[in-house]
Amino acid sequence: MTTSSATSPAYRPSAAKRAQLWLANHFAVISAILVLLYLFLPVAYTFAFSFNDHGKTNIVWQGFTWKHWQDPCRVAGACESLVTSLQVGVISTVVATVLGTMMALAMVRYKFRGKAASNLLIFVPMATPEIVMGAALLTIFVQGFTNIGISLGFGTIVFAHVMFCLSFVVVTVKARIQSLDPRIEEAAQDLYAGPMETFWKVTFPLILPGIAGAAMLAFSLSFDDFIITNFVSGNESTFPKFVYVASRRGIPAEANVIGFSMFVLAVLLVIGAQVVSSLRASKYKE
């Protein structure tokens, strides 16, 4: 029986063939690297130009300086808008997380009239374009809230952010609850644990990672939102709104400093959550 030349020990693939084989074996890695470069290129630009010694506009590199990092609040409105965004984000996250968790528990564990419609309607805010939701909320606030003496501002921003964050919290926590084994709670009840004790000692610790993930998602959505906020904020300024207004005359490098600092903080929180999750998983294995 003869051996083909392609499988004989003397066979050597050509350079083009070797290149094709190498590309096929590393295509996934190369694609991932290119996607990450595409995603993080704006972040790298933001970091680099936070050191730019610019004049009126921070577009062309003029020279290196530390002054923007030494005092990022020297531009009027930068830190004030950041504080407003953080306050709105924290309040809307807490409210949306509490309400969304209760809604998710009700939708998964209980049967009630209109449950199918509720499951469908919860996706409506997620599917609605932000400009449509912002215009609709503006109409509601102007026609309804002004009649009772409430004007556009901090309160209307929080109200709007809770509305669109709520759906994301419900979907995230609901997925976590559906993945739980109900027999665990039944075992706790068989051991004479009451409903509240079962919830706080069994159910809540199991769904806590989902709640934490939903809260982080809600905060990031709230902090990052501009379109809806621009409709309902009135004279109140959040950090995305400050950046938009500043872009008309040239975004200052101090905005780059604040933006990149928030990015680093978010990355550290994600890494910390992963470390805690890994430690808990290893503890359970032991």
Cα distances (Å, whole numbers) of residue 30 to 16, 22, 37, 101: 18, 11, 11, 40
Instruction: Quote the CA–CA distance of 34 and 20 in Å, as a whole number.
Output: 19
Burial class (CB in 10 A: 0-12, 13-18, 19+), 30: exposed
Instruction: Quote the CA–CA distance of 79 and 239 in Å, as a whole number.
Output: 8
The pTM score is 0.81
Quote the pLDDT of residue 203: 85
What CATH class has 79-251? Answer: mainly alpha
Burial class (CB in 10 A: 0-12, 13-18, 19+), 266: middle
Quote the pLDDT of residue 1: 47
pLDDT in tens, the chain (286 residues): 454 545 555 567 777 777 788 888 888 888 999 999 998 898 898 888 888 887 777 777 888 888 888 888 888 888 899 999 999 999 999 999 999 999 999 888 888 888 888 888 888 888 888 899 999 888 888 877 666 767 888 989 999 999 999 999 999 999 988 888 778 877 887 777 787 888 888 888 888 888 988 999 999 999 989 999 999 988 888 999 988 888 777 788 888 888 888 888 888 888 887 787 777 777 666 5
Quote the pLDDT of residue 275: 83
The three-state secondary structure class of 64 is strand
> What is the per-residue burial (b if ≥16 Cβ within 10 Å, else e) of 65-93?
eeebeeebeebebbbebbebbbebbebbb
Quote the pLDDT of residue 21: 82
Quote the pLDDT of residue 93: 95
What residues does CATH 1.10.3720.10 cover in the chain? Answer: 79-251
